[in-house]
């Protein structure tokens, strides 16, 4: 099966510009997550979709970040306007949802490296 | 809130030597614990997971980890390091009793293998 794919792999933008990251999860995976790793720090949870609904967005840093998952398939994460501290690697992950018995482990994409100058 | 600490941001071992990467967690409920590995320019790959079935968990590439509740530890080991093991390793814990809904990662340990 195809893995989690993320596009673009790298993005360099200027402060104040807008960037949109895309994630295509593994087919059939209802759970989709966004994580971020700022240089040298922990991988931080941003948010979690179950199908098209936001299950948990407690990790979103501020209202400059907007995530969508229309139709419950691919997801986009938009940063508008970008700030210097937004630089980092943005990972997307997906998993199957087994209802009350839990979920499958996370499958990660290769990440998008965002540099804001 | 759950959290994960990893002792040593960078570990170097000689090829053929024992690999030991340390992980301690805090959790108010029985946790799900994971080790992930990230090779350069790749995503995170699951090495192994603990889900309360057995305290000694075997994973891919010869790695294993032992869950010790009394020490709140989940250290990762491999008897003999290979050059291909050079990567960054992340210990992680899930929040939630029955699912992996929100995985909390440790800061990572970069492993170097010296020929």
Burial A68-86 (b: 16+ CB within 10 A, else e): ebeeeebbebebeebeeeb
Contact B42 A56 (CB under 8 A): no
Q: Among partner residues B36, B102, B104, which is closest to A56 by beta-carbon distance?
A: B102
Yes or no, beta carbons of B98 and A101 under 8 Å apart: yes
Report how far residue B85's alpha carbon sits from residue B66's, in angstroms, rounded to the nearest whole number: 19
Average pLDDT over residues A82-103: 84
- Reported as a single tens digit per residue, the pLDDT across A46-70 is 999 999 999 889 999 999 999 999 8
CB spacing of A45 vs B34 below 8 angstroms? no
Say what the pLDDT of residue B98 is. Answer: 47
- CA B1 to chain centroid, in Å, comes to 19
Separation of alpha carbons A30 and A97, rounded Å = 6
Average pLDDT over residues A42-48: 92
Q: Which residues from A are below 8 Å from B when comparing CB atoms?
A: 3-4, 31, 33, 35, 41-45, 48, 55-56, 91, 93, 95, 100-111
Tokens coding B25 = 């967690």
The model's confidence at residue B14, banded by pLDDT at 50, 70 and 90, is very high
* Banded model confidence at residue B32, pLDDT cuts 50, 70, 90: confident
Return the minimum-mean-pLDDT range out of A75-84, B34-43, B80-89.
B34-43
CA A31/CA A6 separation, integer angstroms:
16
A3's tokens: 């893995």
């Amino acid at each position: 099966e195809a893995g989690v794919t993320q596009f673009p792999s790298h993005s360099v933008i200027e402060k104040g510009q807008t960037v949109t990251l895309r994630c295509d999860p593994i087919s059939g995976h209802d759970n989709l997550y966004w994580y971020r790793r700022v240089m040298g720090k922990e991988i931080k949870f941003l948010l979690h979709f179950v199908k098209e609904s936001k299950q948990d967005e407690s990790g979103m840093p501020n209202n400059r970040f907007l995530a969508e998952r229309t139709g419950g398939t691919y997801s986009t994460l938009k940063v508008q306007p970008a700030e210097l501290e937004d630089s980092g690697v943005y990972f997307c992950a997906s998993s199957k949802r087994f209802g009350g018995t839990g979920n499958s482990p996370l499958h990660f994409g290769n990440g998008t490296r965002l540099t804001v100058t | 809130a759950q959290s994960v600490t990893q002792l040593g941001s960078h570990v170097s071992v000689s090829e053929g030597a024992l690999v030991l990467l340390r992980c301690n967690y805090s959790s108010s409920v029985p946790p799900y614990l994971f080790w992930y590995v990230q090779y350069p320019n790749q995503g995170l790959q699951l090495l192994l997971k603990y889900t309360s079935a057995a305290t000694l968990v075997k994973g891919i590439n010869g790695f294993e980890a032992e869950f010790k509740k009394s020490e709140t530890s989940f250290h990762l080991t491999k008897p003999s390091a290979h050059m291909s093991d050079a990567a960054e390793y992340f210990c992680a814990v899930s929040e939630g009793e029955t699912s992996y809904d929100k995985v909390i990662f440790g800061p990572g340990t970069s492993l170097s293998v010296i020929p």
